[in-house]
Amino acid sequence: MRRSKFSESQRLAILAEQDGGKSVEEICRKHQISPATLYKWKQALAIQQDETKSRLHDLEQENKRLKKMFAELSIDHEILQEGYDLLKKWQAQDEKKS
Domain ranges of the chain: 8-97
Cα separation of 34 and 42, whole Å? 13
pLDDT in tens, 27-71: 999 999 999 999 999 999 999 999 999 999 999 999 999 999 999
First to last CA, the chain: 88
28 contact partners, CB below 8 Å, separation of at least 6: 34, 35, 37, 38
What mean pLDDT is reported for the chain? Answer: 92
Cα separation of 26 and 35, whole Å? 10
CB-CB contact of 11 with 41 (8 Å): yes
Banded model confidence at residue 97, pLDDT cuts 50, 70, 90: confident
